[in-house]
Structure 1
């Protein structure tokens, strides 16, 4: 059999701090407001930390240096990238052709609304007595106003059945067009004249907690009783490391240390291996190369290789991976 020189390039992630192969977390112990911290993280790293699993929570708990927090007189509360997007109101009716320019922006809020009391008021009801709107917790049960669309015309329908906002939305979509979208003062007055005394769901709602980097994760790790928006301005989130890294809503203007994340540095290692070529086998065939990588990964894993390590072939200038080894060169190796 011919002896052939095999070259494998190993991309090692063993130096990564995070078990998430794509992220490395950085504690910054200098206190900044949430917006200042976000700007710093985006300039120096990638963004404020996205914490999307208990694995990351445990990693951050282990990485924290409490002595450095104490130096700044901080009681272990550190900004992460979660925030409440208080300006994200939109209509349940998603057909943009229903709205003329700026009609999606029509609002008829009562004085002091929306106030997002207790950090849970993400849906909207209309009051029959004056036609003004309040934000409200979406789980509250009340009657609703549905919308029937026939071409450019909109007809409102009162639903005399107590439902939470999500149930009302589903009912209106199944039996009419959607929950009521209110495009102007005229339509708002139409609803006031239609409904009996009381309060009624309409289709305005907002997205709630979001990550600074735009990623989505349903994972939450709130401390007991949080979020509560106790001061009516707590739209940002800090991890409380005196409480196992659990989250608390907080005033975005308060200065705190913070956590950034960035990509994990990738080290590169070249491994050279000699193999004997089986008769009739094209060692540069893609199927054969793929099968060899699988076997190589199994062997390296058995020796304790981290799963974050990636194996790839390094091709020579002529595009081939395998080359027949010269007798003289082999004697020198």
Structure 2
């Protein structure tokens, strides 16, 4: 005859909710970099805005006392130069060690021309949207020549697509010898080669939130230039990208741990349960109470068993 056991579990479970941000408006005009230094010294850093709820709280804080634009912590980080042909490398792009820049270059461009012979075939960074002739690398077995100069005006992206469709890719010059060979195909026009760089939008504190709240026409995505983000209070807090050397007021933040919440759960069962079954039942009970309290249905609850031993 099976033995039926009443198992009564009652416990007090301690929960700590996520971290929250508290914002502070500083009505002093500084560059983005100086504002970040100030915020790190006085608070926690320039404001990170990971959700629309946070955005609304920030606007509510500033609104009424200020109606312009203020720096927040989002900025772009310029990535290293890379060759277009390396995009398909499983191990990622190789480091670029050879450059042949014209005097004073590079500036803020993200793509590169090999300048016409009048400028000795030196390189210049340019905006990738500018249309220009280009040169393709042809590594196909049937290729008659390793390079093909294309006398069509295209921006970098279209030139790259053209070379990949008809040949191999935009030309690569990893050393002086390859650069000189490419130069032998040049005429009176500048030529796009395959060197380019990208930029990555990053929060100053390393937060990986992908929330964005751009105003109409933004971001401009300045070609290769470091740019930073401001929030326009008069436009409901929508964001504008602008040069980091501009001077604006700014918003700082500190990170706070929400108060500890205690919860008591209780249930009965008429059979023996394994530890894992007990933990699952406790997790479900806690989740029901949390969702009932207004948290989203997709929250994850984990229960950890802690055994206290007497000394």
Report the TM-score when normalising by structure 2: 0.71
- Alignment correspondent of 2:187: 196
Counterpart of 1:181 (choices 156, 165, 172) is 172
Are the aligned partners of 1:83 and 1:237 in contact in 2 as well (CA < 8 Å)?
A: yes
SS in 2 for 1:194: coil
Query: Residue 80 and residue 105 in structure 1: after superposition, are their counterparts in 2 closer, same or farther (change >3 A)?
Result: farther
The structural deviation recorded for 1:58 is 3.4
1:238 aligns with 2:230: yes
Could you give the per-residue CA deviations for residues 242-266 of structure 1, whole angstroms, max 9, x where no partner exists?
Answer: 2222333444344433234454413
Q: Structure 2: which 5+ runs fail to align?
A: none
The structural deviation recorded for 1:194 is 0.2
Are the aligned partners of 2:265 and 2:282 in contact in 1 as well (CA < 8 Å)?
A: no
SS in 2 for 1:306: coil
Are the aligned partners of 1:91 and 1:104 in contact in 2 as well (CA < 8 Å)?
A: no
- Alignment correspondent of 1:205: 196
Could you give the per-residue CA deviations for residues 186-206 of structure 1, whole angstroms, max 9, x where no partner exists?
Answer: 443432320333232212222
Are the aligned partners of 2:77 and 2:226 in contact in 1 as well (CA < 8 Å)?
A: no
Counterpart of 1:143 (choices 133, 153, 173) is 133
- Alignment correspondent of 2:31: 33
Return the alpha-carbon distance in structure 2 between the equivalents of residues 59 and 98 of structure 1: 42
Report the TM-score when normalising by structure 1: 0.67
Are the aligned partners of 1:45 and 1:260 in contact in 2 as well (CA < 8 Å)?
A: yes
1:63 aligns with 2:68: no
- Alignment correspondent of 1:257: 249
Counterpart of 1:290 (choices 275, 280, 283) is 280
Are the aligned partners of 1:140 and 1:164 in contact in 2 as well (CA < 8 Å)?
A: yes
Could you give the per-residue CA deviations for residues 299-327 of structure 1, whole angstroms, max 9, x where no partner exists?
Answer: 4423x3333987554645359xxxxxxxx
Could you give the per-residue CA deviations for residues 123-147 of structure 1, whole angstroms, max 9, x where no partner exists?
Answer: 2222323324343332344432223
- Provide the aligned length of Structure 1 versus Structure 2: 291
1:247 aligns with 2:274: no
SS in 1 for 2:188: coil
RMSD: 4.1
Are the aligned partners of 1:47 and 1:261 in contact in 2 as well (CA < 8 Å)?
A: yes
Return the alpha-carbon distance in structure 2 between the equivalents of residues 316 and 123 of structure 1: 57
Are the aligned partners of 2:134 and 2:193 in contact in 1 as well (CA < 8 Å)?
A: yes
Query: Residue 266 and residue 220 in structure 1: after superposition, are their counterparts in 2 closer, same or farther (change >3 A)?
Result: closer
Could you give the per-residue CA deviations for residues 260-303 of structure 1, whole angstroms, max 9, x where no partner exists?
Answer: 44544133233233433x22231x5313421342243224423x
Query: Residue 209 and residue 64 in structure 1: after superposition, are their counterparts in 2 closer, same or farther (change >3 A)?
Result: farther
1:122 aligns with 2:110: yes
Counterpart of 1:305 (choices 270, 282, 294) is 294
Query: Residue 218 and residue 317 in structure 1: after superposition, are their counterparts in 2 closer, same or farther (change >3 A)?
Result: closer
The structural deviation recorded for 1:220 is 5.8
